A and B are shown apart, each in its own frame.
Chain A
Amino acid sequence: MISVESIIVAAFEFLSMPMLGWLAAAALPWLIHRIYRKQHHTTSWAAVELLLAAMNSRSRRVHMQQWLLLAVRTMILVCVVLAAAEPGLRGWTIDSEATSRTHRVIVIDRSFSMGCARDGVSRWDRAKAQARQWIENANGDPITLIAWGHQAESVLGRPTFDASVVLSALEDLQLSDATADIRTAARAVVQAIERCEAEMPQVTQQHVMFYTDFCQPTWSFDESQIKPLEALGGRVPLTMVDVTERGRQNMAVTAVRAEPEVILRHGEAKISATLNNFGLRANRRTRVNLQIDGRLIDERSVELTPGQQTTVNFSHRFIDEGQKLIVVSMSDVDDALAIDDRRVSVVHVRPQLRVACVAGFPHAATDLARALAPSEGQGESPVQADVYSLSRLAELELSDFAAVFLCGADRLTVREIATLRRYVQQGGGLAVFLDAGLSADQNDQWLALLPADLDSEVVTGDFRFDALDYTHPIVAPFRGQTQAGLLRVIVSRYRRLEIRESDPPHETVLRFDSGDPALIVGRCGLGNVAVSALPASLASQSSDSLPWSTFAVSPSFLPVVRELTNYLVSRGREHQTNLLVGEIALVPWSSTTRKAEVRLPDGRTQPLPLPKSNEPLTFAHTNRAGSYTFLADGSPVAHVVANVDARECDPRPIERTDLPTSVIGQRVSSSSRLTTSGQEFSFVRVLLASALVLLLVEIGLAWTLGRGWG
């Protein structure tokens, strides 16, 4: 039978245990009282009977007052000493019958900001120490340990009664380089509690303890995302333990960018690094180094005031082609977090940008090819545009091309569609210029490749482009360039497109003043697909052979198709090589590969399962910041780098007011550390306020006693 009566005893811990020694000072008032009484004044007295009568009427009250005064003075000292010892709620111990147990769920934040250290003690050390104390006081209660990072999972799988096993697992836990996602934590906690309820009927109570630094990315979320946690908070005590340290000092490299997006061999590239000082003091003479493929290229010195962000620009000419590893790092930095003092990026240096222009009918790609690669005397181009007829599409090794342009290709075979699909999913760029030929009843797989639904109707009239405020990067260079003539292009016919919903959403780059889209781009696998409602040349398959628009011969055509090419290329394979820690790495893969491996940032090599045909190689465990090298049959074929989330480089905890009220308003307790992070509730504050109140009471009481109560 389970007892309904249990004694709940609050258990506290003290961050400054030695300060508790000062509790002995609480005996001081009593000592002084004793000494004072011994050092009394003596006099002979005649009116003793009156004195005795006064004593009889007052003695009990006087004694009570004296004891009260002594108690108040003692409590003042006790409160001050306890406040100095920085108490924190360690948890609850349940002293009840053996059959009544509390399931203790420990959720420990592993995000990299927990590595912030001061005086050699990190937030992670503090969290583990406090969790360890709670585990040691479990008294046979079942415990679930949840490691909470980008993913949250129960370390031991199920609740365990053996505290030593949990302690061992806690000791083995390592910080991750990722952020922590509260949604995953909420799910893991709910699962743990439901599992305990299902498997351990003798457990009557549950208590969840979060050890976290309340860092911005972790705790900035929509309340709807933590509904399970809110529901849980209504019936299970949630205790949030803030383990942030006092003061902070952190500098970080928060971004590294290379321009242009498509870098060619012997081309000049600008590499810019963004640096932030998240600390409270200026950091002087910080050295910023640029390394490319392990070779020191340049070094700069910067000074950053607190809260300042600055950009350091480097210039470099790449001689060799291939993937290049760019590392920007800071030296001579005195800060709390080392992992964000370095940031890595991968760029692909190409000898030339080779594109395939596939023409569905004669001259369908002529104007396009000319725009991409003007013939001699018409200007220089880094692009090599090879024109092929549609019949040769199946023969082409598309991986040799950075992008493929399909112009007026109305009929594709299943094999051609499969080739194109694989090409795009592996990171290639595909642009489709429609003509009257391609109808809506085409092969579904072919149409599914496009980011838009087709309408068989050809819209006729007099139309102009609407650049949508030049918000898209492809048309952004036209902003303020009215002479470029983009908005003066005459359109008399176009294919009606309807953007298709997807995640991530497809984007309209240009539209007609009728409101219909003119150019749409969208993702497909690792690659990108663009579809144009206009042909890429004056020639058309229309029955009257009249041109649909002046676009192909307008001055704006060349910059549009070149920016389109850059977009398709840079947002394709290259884009997938620069990740945040915890993101999934997708690497283009040859179907002939027999063995796939990945070399991790720490140098270890890990085998990978080969993907199905058409699908890229997938690696989901980018848990460490650094470079991941993918090996095909032992040879490196691709580099992917993972960096820490720059938002978490700011070591400041989130303001309590920014936390969802649904969580804070529930049974959330905090430790004394919340004081240092400016949180609302604090035992230290309560104790100091109590000491202040008691001091006022003491003054009033002493004054009243001195006057003999009037």
Chain B
Amino acid sequence: MRTISTNLDPEAIAKLQGLELRSRRIVDGYLSGMHRSVYRGQSVEFTEHREYAPGDDLRYVDWKVFGKSDKVYLKQFEAETDLVCYLLLDVSESMRYRADASPMSKLEYAQCLAAAVGSIVLKQRDSVGLTTCDDQLRDVVRASSNPTHVRQLVQVMEQAEVTRRSALGAVLDELSQRLPRRGIVLVISDLLGDVESMLAGLKHLRYQRHDVLVLQTLDRAELEFPFARTTLFRGLESMPEVMAESRGIRQAYLRELHQFLHRIKVGCQSLRVDYDLLPTDEPFDDALRRVLTHRRVR
């Protein structure tokens, strides 16, 4: 099996220089970093006024307002804080799929993405954590901003067992309850499974006010169904075998796939969750550059 280090060649990493993972929402953090904090504090960025309450620090009273209106208001400032990025990596059996023509499996591609994002986050001195999952949460690596933390992430990803079914909805539910503080949750999965439960899980995360980003990795064969002959499809994740006249059902499959992707996309939009589809034949650095650039624009 190829390792993540093999796939993460230096040239690809070099291409990611200068990219930042910015939070689109207010997150809380311990360190003063590049991200806005929900805690008003030591910052030069004025946010709002608030009526004085007994016990408030008088240093923040806006005397100009008091002079004009004879009312005591306190100035409040937005504090910059560090970002915590939680990576949720799907290691269910379906992620193992790789067509003959594809350069890597979906899992390998997802691992590369996770490692690259981890590197970026750590480089911008934020914290990154990792959770692998299939039908339940598997390995959990706590968030850390230590620059060497990425090694631990890679090690955990490489040791993941890829044999079980996925149940992303339940996993997201559980994850939302276990995340200690708000941050960016990056879900990397093929999302094959129950869409409704998955969306319910995302909703739960959003309820916890996490900034959620979903990256769906699919093989090109899954997107285009290029088979021409009668084919025996051996299902992963304990799914049954299916014998099919490929050309005869291709259109129907593509129609089903389109509906499936459409439901995910619409569901994510309604939850204000960023969503991107990343085919595994697209260089992951290009894909990541596209995702992050796009995100910064938004």
Enumerate chain A interface residues (CB-CB to B < 8 A).
36-37, 39-55, 57-59, 62, 65-66, 705-710
Contact = CB atoms under 8 A, between A and B. Distances in A.
B207 to A, nearest CB: 28
B281 interface: no
B232 A54 contact: no
Contacts, number: 109
B251 A710 contact: yes
Contact of B236 (A37, A46, A53, A58): A46
A51 B230 contact: no
A650 B219 CA distance: 79
Contact of A46 (B94, B227, B230, B253): B94
Contact of B234 (A43, A50, A53): A43
B238 to A, nearest CB: 10
Nearest to B219: A46
Contacts of A45: 97, 233-236, 239, 242
B239 A48 contact: yes
Given A50-B260, A708-B250, 12 more contacts: A41-B230, A41-B232, A43-B232, A44-B236, A45-B236, A45-B239, A46-B222, A48-B233, A48-B236, A51-B242, A66-B245, A707-B251
Q: Is the interface of B mostly helix, strand, loop or mixed?
A: mixed
Q: Is the interface of A mostly helix, strand, loop or mixed?
A: helix
Interface string B36-65: 000000000000000000000000000000
Nearest to B98: A44
A51 B253 CA distance: 6
B233 A706 contact: no
B256 interface: yes
B251 A709 contact: yes
Contact of A36 (B93, B230, B249, B252): B230
B249 A54 contact: yes
Interface in B171-225: 190, 192-193, 219, 222
A50 B248 contact: no
A46 B189 CA distance: 12
Contacts of B239: 45, 48-49
A442 to B, nearest CB: 105
A625 to B, nearest CB: 71
Given A46-B190, A46-B192, A50-B257, A62 B245 contact: yes
A50 B233 CA distance: 12
A104 B73 CA distance: 122
Which of B231, B243, B244, B247 counts the most A-chain CB atoms under 10 A from its CB?
A: B244
Contacts of B250: 708
A49 B233 CA distance: 11
Contacts of B106: 46
A62 B231 contact: no
B10 interface: no
A65 B247 CA distance: 12
Contacts of B257: 47, 50
18 contacts: A44-B233, A45-B233, A45-B234, A45-B239, A45-B242, A46-B95, A46-B192, A48-B233, A48-B237, A48-B242, A50-B192, A50-B257, A50-B260, A51-B242, A54-B252, A55-B252, A707-B251, A708-B247
Contacts of A43: 99, 227, 231-234
Nearest to A37: B230
A45 B236 CA distance: 6
B231 A41 contact: yes
A59 B243 CA distance: 11
Interface string B155-184: 000000000000000000000000000000
A40 B247 CA distance: 13
Given A46-B94, A705-B248, A708-B250, A53 B235 contact: no
A59 B237 CA distance: 23
Nearest to A708: B251
Contacts of A44: 97, 233-236
